[in-house]
Amino acid sequence: MRSPPSAPPSLNLLAFDTSTGTLSVALTAPGAPLTHVGAGGAQVSGSLIPAVLSLLAQAGLRLQDLDAIVFGSGPGSFTGLRTACSVAQGLAFGAGVPVLPVETLMAVAEEARALTGATQVLALLDARMDEIYVAQYTHDGRRWHRVDPVRLAHAEDIVVPPGVLLAGNVFEAYGGRLPAGHPRVDAGPAAAALLRLAPALLGDGEGVPADQALPLYVRDKVAQTTAEREATRAGARQDKMPP
């Protein structure tokens, strides 16, 4: 097993991912990142900020000392993505630091590279409802690049190009239905992987002001339904206003 590289110590970075059933938080520190792993899902809204504050205290850092706040932007759990984005925005706005949204599937590819050395990865995350989030990534020696759009697919419909590693959290649920004869590795969108991705992405100008950070929703109907609900609430409030 390969030892994953650490983020350059010159950058103070906080990263977290809540896109799956696991809460993952990491903070750069001399030698190796400080990390926290806990339960995600419905519990994450109450546990994410305490985990962040605990790591900052261990490192002796303040939010204002950070160079950026990194979060797994999606795809993934709708509630988890919304929570991660809103927490990243709130912390970054208060501290006056930029936000770096990073695709969760890219984090899967990076975790696979750390485990196996692979530079061609088909990243897969369980999307529930008998579907899988899918995207292919290639590493150029400095950073990952997505080869095709992030999409939803049934396991039987996924096509794996020659020489590409399958990586993700789908093999227990869908492994027997995925194409056979290809190497595969269990890998999730760990926050430590986000830390490793961040320097190159920030160097390429992908950090944004807090108010411009957005999650990546692939199930458009879910996002659309939420937008429709917000519009309905806004309309109801407007109707109740006195003339």
- The CATH number that applies at residue 150 is 3.30.420.40
- pLDDT attached to residue 216: 96
Residues 11, 219: Cα–Cα separation, whole Å = 34
- Check pLDDT > 50 for residue 3: no
Q: Report pTM.
A: 0.87
Contact by Cβ (8 Å): 96, 209: no
Whether the predicted pLDDT of 228 surpasses 60: no
Please write down the long-range contacts of 226-232, taking CB distance under 8 Å and 24 or more positions apart: 226/78
pLDDT of residue 10: 81
Which of these, 126, 66, 128, 135, lies nearest to 102 by C-alpha position?
A: 135
Quote the CA–CA distance of 181 and 158 in Å, as a whole number: 13
Residue 27 lies in a domain: yes
Token representation of residue 27: 């903070």
Tell me whether residue 236 is in a domain.
no
Q: What is the pLDDT of residue 204?
A: 97
- Encoded tokens for 67: 């160079």
Task: Tell me how many domains the chain contains.
Answer: 2
The one-character DSSP state at 220 is H
* Residue 138 covered by a domain: yes
Site of tokens 């429709």: 228
Q: In terms of residue numbers, what domain contains 199?
A: 13-104+189-220
Which token pair is 61? Answer: 């850092």
pLDDT at 240 over 60: no
* pLDDT grade for 41, boundaries at 50, 70 and 90: confident
